[in-house]
Chains A and B, each alone.
Chain A
Amino acid sequence: MATTEATTNGTMPNDRHTIGISFGNSNNSIAIAVDDKAEVIANEDGDRQIPAILSYVEGEEYTGQQAKAQLIRNSKNTVAYFRDFLGQDFASIDPTHSHASAHPQEHESTVAFNIQDKADSETSTVTVSEVATRLFKRLAQSASDYSGKTVNSAVITIPTNFSDKQKAALITAANNADLEVLQLIHEPIAAVLAYDAKNEHSGSDKVVVVADLGGTRSDVAVVAARNGIYTILATAHDYEFAGTALDVVLQDHFAKEFIKWNTTDPREEARSMAKLKLESEATKKALSIGTNANFSVESLAEGADFSSTINRLRYEMIARKVFDGFSRLIEGAVKKADLDVLDIDEVILSGGTSHTPKIARNMQSLFPKATVLAPSTTPTAINPSELQARGAALQANLIQEYEAEDIEQSTHAAVTTVKHLTNAIGVLSADDVFTPIIAAETAVPARRTIHISAPAAGDVLIKIVEGGSHIKISTIEPKPKDEADSDDSDDDSDEEPEEQREKVWKVGTVLAEASIKGIKKCGKVEVMINVAADLAVTVTAREVGGKGGLRGNITAP
């Protein structure tokens, strides 16, 4: 074990072996970054998505896939779906997902589980914090086995709506597993970072929607990415439409099929239900890859084996309500950010449920101007189940050399709370068309440079103005039909006029004018805009390759 400094409560940078951890209600995953490249590592069972479950059989501890299998026979001593209970009192937790495993209990000011975790038949009261600590130990052990070094620190991802108490509880649970928490970072930002690290255009200005569709919850964040600086503009959360809701659709479907041939409903008996649930999830995952999937369970109920198949189209039909729920949630987040679907440049589909092809297709039609980053729409997409752990590992790699105190100071509100531009700042062309140089919602200080090709020689005026974008809606009347080819088109006759929506710029305040004289034919003008923390602006302009140039100041508002 490395020495722990009492003063900083952190491991000394040189003794750190750091990983990134995504710690979900359904799954955990670990990544290690080497030379700016992150890799998600497998545990001893070969799993990269490690079910966040702890189970005890005669005092023996199991986690991951092995613990998940215990939900069938040993559900009482199996703890699952607990992450969101950390740092909460019993009255505020939602125990819905714990019905088929150890039930959460009120215990002092926290939540605990009564499980038989020792070889004797006594049950112990294990707090949710202790459950998390035990899982963190297992994750650290897997990472240590993989890397050959004792892993002792981590960057861990958290939802954007985690309270301070939940954050503190998560840190305590990790610390108790001998893991120093270098930083907690927001899940959607970890996902953006995982993509941007891979993308040479990471410095560009874009609005990104991160839809993190997990097992028990779906979380959406609308993020302004401005030259690699990320600002969350709005978030939305939902606990009804998530991966398990899709499992339920399949459970109901196969239960009804089963009833056709048998007399009992497998949903009415705990063990049958557990089997139905596990296999439905497996079938759902198979439908993300194939257009057909099997469902097959030995002794599902009444001792009867059951097998069936389902095709993807049918699945997409019966699960439509859930898919529509995802779309509504995501569209709602965009509205909350005061943006339009046309303002979105990128949609990152994150979380296990994001493997589903239908969801990616829905996003593509919801956001016509955006690149949808999901396995079925973009061949170079990163595995959505790995985004958060990768992002966390990249962040860990970036900051592992800093003292804990430095990290603390840099993440302080005094450094992170800054002004953001209300409007874009840009230049006007000869025919008054606005071209942005700095986008709205850019954090200041900020600096951007553009090169403008100026086709004609001579003296030019550079008009620096503010611009606001809005959506212009125009209707295109349907073309009148030719009588000749419309013998069977009675119902087309009163076709709705089509609505066309486009994003247009509106010129606002004129900030400054500048002149550059004697530009050569086919010359280039460079304009640099620097907005200081107090919104004072410095403009510099020159002919590229030319002598001189100008510099002007616009005072702060």
Chain B
Amino acid sequence: MSKHTEVELTLPALPQGWEAEGNFKALGKVTKATERSIEPVGPHFLAHARRARHKRTFSEDDK
């Protein structure tokens, strides 16, 4: 599993009557992105290229 960042914050309390199937509601979409070039350099790029070329996801890569 990949590493994580630790943060400290108070999450909002669940409002009365909040209900969703699977406890999850999708409400919007990510803003359109810009196409840019990543530099083909370094160990993390190598891992990216491997995933891209073998069409693997992060979690398949973890195994």
B-binding residues in A (CB < 8 A):
183, 185-186, 189-190, 193, 196, 203, 227-233, 391, 395, 398-399, 409-411, 413, 415-423, 425, 427-431, 433, 435, 437, 441, 443-445, 447-456, 458-463, 466, 508-517, 525-526, 530-532, 535, 537, 539, 550-557
Contacts and interface: CB of A to CB of B under 8 A. Distances in A.
25 contacts: A185-B40, A186-B41, A189-B39, A189-B41, A196-B42, A228-B45, A413-B37, A419-B35, A422-B33, A445-B51, A447-B2, A451-B5, A458-B13, A511-B28, A513-B18, A513-B24, A513-B27, A514-B24, A514-B25, A515-B14, A517-B14, A550-B24, A552-B26, A554-B28, A556-B29
Contact of A410 (B7, B27, B49): B49
Contact of B26 (A450, A530, A553): A553
Nearest to B34: A420
Given A410-B49, A410-B53, A515-B18, A450 B30 contact: no
A453 B8 contact: yes
Contacts of B53: 409-410, 415
Contacts of A232: 37, 39
A511 B26 contact: yes
A448 B51 CA distance: 17
Contacts of B10: 429-431, 454-456
Contacts of B48: 229, 415, 443
B33 A460 contact: no
A429 B20 contact: no
B2 A449 contact: yes
B16 to A, nearest CB: 10
B3 interface: yes
B36 A420 contact: yes
The 3 closest A-B pairs by CB, nearest first: A228-B44, A552-B24, A459-B14
B44 A550 contact: no
Contacts of B31: 421-423, 466, 508-509, 557
Interface of A is mostly: strand
A537 B28 CA distance: 11
Contact of A422 (B25, B32, B38, B46): B32
B29 to A, nearest CB: 4
Nearest to B9: A429
Given A196-B42, A228-B43, A513-B20, A537 B30 contact: yes
Contacts of B36: 231, 233, 417-418, 420, 441, 443
Contact of A516 (B3, B23, B52): B23
Contact of A416 (B23, B26, B40): B40
Which of B11, B26, B29 has the largest count of A CB atoms less than 10 A from its CB? Answer: B11
B26 A512 contact: yes
B4 interface: yes
B7 A417 contact: no
Contacts of B34: 419-420, 422
B33 to A, nearest CB: 4
Contacts of A451: 4-7
B27 A449 contact: no
A556 B48 CA distance: 20
A90 B4 CA distance: 54
Contact of B24 (A196, A229, A413, A512): A512
Nearest to A548: B23
Given A447-B2, A557-B32, 6 more contacts: A229-B45, A416-B39, A419-B34, A454-B11, A535-B29, A555-B26
